[in-house]
């Protein structure tokens, strides 16, 4: 019960609360004094950890911490739809902009958590680091931490954050955390390491306040859920998730070619089929990006070896492959061609680099942009609920009714099980749970 709620109660009720809670020394006190006495007692009696959820998204950290009995006292996210989902699922209305949070007026809390924006550091972004204003949002976390000095901070970002700008970004983060009086330990994790069939490598930053730090490294709890793709997929999903006719035609075309390659043939790097049939002059070729020139050069042995197969194949399917530039580019990431090989044995994504084909053991990394994985076996996109399962959200989690919104939210989210493993291991190590 808050002090505001207590102030609205009559004095006689406040005294009854004192008796019920065995609070001594209330006799003869006025209403204001009783409110203060009760508030102080309840604060001492409340041993649950309190946390703020920054860049909260749809609440991956919230899921983990609340399951451990911690109380969320503030959330913040600039995405309107995420705020709506957060309120729908947790009853908390997030602050829309972290810059609007006044650290001098906040109640005390024990933990800051947050997956600060990763677009500045990820492969999917431009890796502009702190030149991108989103990269500077890390400083907003530090601003709040400097004033409130919570016991712990749990932060998350993409694995590339360790190498961006030749390590300068990580050094900056490490120095800031150290200067604020915290010891930093990092964990490189992915759901697939814990028996969840999604490869999603992330870095978790565990920051422990100097006066709490016990000089020992935290060891993550060793748990493997042993889930397979079959445990994630829905039975008989809505036909709207089936791939379009255009995509089906493109995949069928590539599948026809793949079946003609010898077992053991290596198909990497990306096959740039359109480029193979362009007669570049030396000037035009040298004007191409370095990576494109490299791919064209490295494709030549394969194209020469299978020329009698590829020439008629390309002529047959050129119109289909030309509907979008990416349709003529195959990024094969499943290793050498196997016996009875098929593109439909794997997961597929339509990416800027082309048709990316990955081993079916793990689902591809969910991303916030429209690259929803295709489950080749069923010739359909994975559903929003399947995305939620890959991010370890419970079945009770209420999804946004608009699919593209949920796809984006799940692509931006942390994996709940990974977060829970980090936080539970830390709080157990320091005997807070």
Catalytic residues: 118
CA distances from 171 to 10, 51, 153, 178, 407 (A): 56, 26, 17, 10, 33
Nearest to 330 by CA among 308, 311, 346: 346
SS3 label, residue 10: coil
Is the CB of residue 207 less than 8 Å from the CB of residue 183?
yes
CA distances from 111 to 76, 142, 207, 228, 371 (A): 14, 13, 10, 34, 34
Q: Which residues pair with 54 in a beta bridge?
A: 76, 114
Question: Can you tell me which residue has the tokens 């109640």?
Answer: 107
Listed in order, strand segments (DSSP E) in 14-110 are: 50-54, 71-76
Distance CA 59, CA 87 (A): 10
Backbone angles phi, psi at 297, to 5 degrees: -65, -45
Token digits of residue 412: 């931006």
Contacts (Cβ under 8 Å, ≥6 apart) of 425: 218, 219, 220, 221
Nearest to 360 by CA among 372, 341, 344, 337: 344
- Give helix 403-412 / helix 80-90 axis angle, nearest 10°: 90
Q: Which residues of 274-304 are buried (b: 16+ CB within 10 A; e: fewer)?
A: ebbeeeeeeeeeeeeeeeeeebbeebeebbe
Nearest to 412 by CA among 177, 153, 114, 189: 114
Backbone angles phi, psi at 304, to 5 degrees: -70, -45
Listed in order, strand segments (DSSP E) in 77-225 are: 111-114, 152-158, 182-189, 202-209
């Amino acid at each position: 019960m808050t002090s505001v709620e207590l102030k609205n109660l009559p004095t006689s009720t406040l005294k009854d609360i004192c008796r019920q809670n065995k609070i001594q020394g209330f006799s003869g006190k006025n209403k204001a004094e009783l409110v203060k006495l009760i508030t102080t007692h309840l604060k001492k009696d409340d041993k649950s950890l309190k946390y703020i959820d920054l860049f909260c998204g749809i609440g991956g950290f919230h899921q983990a911490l609340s399951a451990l009995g911690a109380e969320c006292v503030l959330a913040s996210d600039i995405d309107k739809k995420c705020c709506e989902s957060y309120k729908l699922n947790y009853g908390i209305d997030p602050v829309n902009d972290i810059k609007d949070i006044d650290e001098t007026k906040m109640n005390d809390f024990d933990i800051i958590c947050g997956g600060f924006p990763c677009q500045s550091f990820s492969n999917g972004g431009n890796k502009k680091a702190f030149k991108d204003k989103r990269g500077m949002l890390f400083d907003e976390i530090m601003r709040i931490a400097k004033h409130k000095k919570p016991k712990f901070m749990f932060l998350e970002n993409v694995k590339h954050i360790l190498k961006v700008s030749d390590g300068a970004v990580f050094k900056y983060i490490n120095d800031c955390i150290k200067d604020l009086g915290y010891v930093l330990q990092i964990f490189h994790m992915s759901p697939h390491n814990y028996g969840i069939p999604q490869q999603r490598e992330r870095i978790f930053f565990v920051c422990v306040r100097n006066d709490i730090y016990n000089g020992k490294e935290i060891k993550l709890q060793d748990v493997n859920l042993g889930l397979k793709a079959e445990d994630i997929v829905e039975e008989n999903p809505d036909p709207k998730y089936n791939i379009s006719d255009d995509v089906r035609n493109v995949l069928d075309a590539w599948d026809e070619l793949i079946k003609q390659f010898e077992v053991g043939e290596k198909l990497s790097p990306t096959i740039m089929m359109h480029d193979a049939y362009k007669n570049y002059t030396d000037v035009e070729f040298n004007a191409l990006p370095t990576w494109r020139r490299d791919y064209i050069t490295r494709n030549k042995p394969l194209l020469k070896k299978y020329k009698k197969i590829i020439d008629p194949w390309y002529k047959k399917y050129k119109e289909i492959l030309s509907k979008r530039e990416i349709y003529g580019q195959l990024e094969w990431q499943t290793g050498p061609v196997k016996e009875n090989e098929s593109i439909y044995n794997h997961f597929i994504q339509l990416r800027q680099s082309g048709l990316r084909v990955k081993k079916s053991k793990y689902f591809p990394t969910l991303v916030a942009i429209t690259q929803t994985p295709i489950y080749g076996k069923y010739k359909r996109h994975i559903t929003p609920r399947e995305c939620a399962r890959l991010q370890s959200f419970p079945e009770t989690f209420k999804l946004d009714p608009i699919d593209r919104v949920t796809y984006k939210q799940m692509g931006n989210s942390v994996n709940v099980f990974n977060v829970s493993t980090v936080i539970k291991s830390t709080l157990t190590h320091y005997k807070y749970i």
